[in-house]
Amino acid sequence: MKEKDVKSDLLQASVPRKALPTEEQIKSTWRKGVSCKVSIVCHTYNHESFIEQALAGFLIQRTEFPFEIIVHDDASTDNTARIIERYRAAYPDIVRSVLQTKNQYRLGVRPPCFTFPLARGDYIALCEGDDYWLDEHKLSKQAAVLDQSPSAVMCYHDAIRVSQEGRVVGRSEPSRAGYNASQLASAPFIPTLTRMFRNKPVHWLDRRPLPIALDIVLTSYFSRHGGAVYVNDIAPAVYRVHDGGMWSRRGTVERLRTTLDAVLFIAARYQEEGDTRATRLLLTRAVSELIGAVGTAIIGKVLMRRFSERLKARLKRLLVRLKPDS
């Protein structure tokens, strides 16, 4: 990462928020008689220190179309739910809340199982409760791209990674070239907080237990509806690296295990549906992930001791059942 990029990102990430607009001010720019265009979906757990910054990034969005904000709290043990309810009371026509009384994550149920069916928008934009957006035109720009790109199911942009102290520690730079449907099926890296995708039913959500890395699953799933387009004129969204983060706190081996669990879940679904090409594509990625990990000596030693027997068994079953192309 270039020094000037770091300075620019740090400046952007630390810009003070303007006073938030009222609900009436937000709605005053919306075209009359137009239905909800974008559903912002936010999943949160014990994010009392961060959730207001996430909500602020949603509420500063300047659009000519209606949008909604759906916030799911998974039975937080801090004040996250109270903060969400305060915003829901202040923005009753925009903010909708789903407040769990029992933690669903521990039961193997992932937040999209609750939020996606509630989304009324043509498009869905994702952002976790500990991340936030900087660009007030993000929704407008991404919706315009999808409006003009009928062959695309998704669009995305850059993100930066910020430490708990607010220091920029890196950039997440997905492919500038975008992805066609075939490439998207292999679940390439696309930062979750930068995605906007068409509101399509996700039938795999009825499976239990769902993988932890559900964003990987969704990336591949949506490939059946089209490719993905990169948007280059949106300020990077901010991914916060902190001790309580679901991904940040995982060690290298655990991240590998989580990724492989998701990839093999997708491969099994494609195999059930008779899609041999997609199954092979995902198995190739699984093998590549393993080779890359074993190539690092330290990881390789730990991997041999700790790698999940369940994952190895699933990979073996898929390889045995997969028939050669005729």
Domain-terminating residue out of 240, 267, 298: 240
Q: Please check whether residues 177 and 34 belong to one and the same domain.
A: yes
113, pLDDT greater than 60? yes
Q: Please check whether residues 9 and 144 belong to one and the same domain.
A: yes
Residues across the chain: 326
Decide the pairing of beta strands 159-162 and 123-126: unpaired
pTM for the whole structure: 0.85
Q: Please check whether residues 260 and 214 belong to one and the same domain.
A: no
Range 170-194 burial, b when 16+ CB lie within 10 A, else e:
ebbebeeebbebebbbbbbebbbbb
180, pLDDT greater than 50? yes
Please give the average per-residue pLDDT across 108-116, as a whole number: 91
Count of the separate structural domains present in the chain: 2
Domain-terminating residue out of 215, 240, 265: 240
> Cα angle at 189 between 49 and 297, to 5 degrees?
95
pLDDT at 184: 92
Domain of residue 203: give its range.
3-240
The answer to whether residue 326 sits within a structural domain is no
pLDDT in tens, 284-299: 888 777 776 655 544 5
208, pLDDT greater than 70? no
Domain-terminating residue out of 240, 273, 290: 240
Give me the CATH number covering residue 113: 3.90.550.10
Q: At residue 42, what are phi and psi to the nearest 5 degrees?
A: -125, 125
pLDDT in tens, 139-179: 999 999 999 999 999 999 999 999 888 889 999 888 999 99
225, pLDDT greater than 60? yes
Range 67-77 burial, b when 16+ CB lie within 10 A, else e:
bbbbbbbbbbe
Please give the average per-residue pLDDT across 210-234, as a whole number: 91
Q: Please check whether residues 152 and 218 belong to one and the same domain.
A: yes
Q: Please check whether residues 29 and 57 belong to one and the same domain.
A: yes
Sheet (strand 168-172) strand order: 168-172, 159-162, 237-240
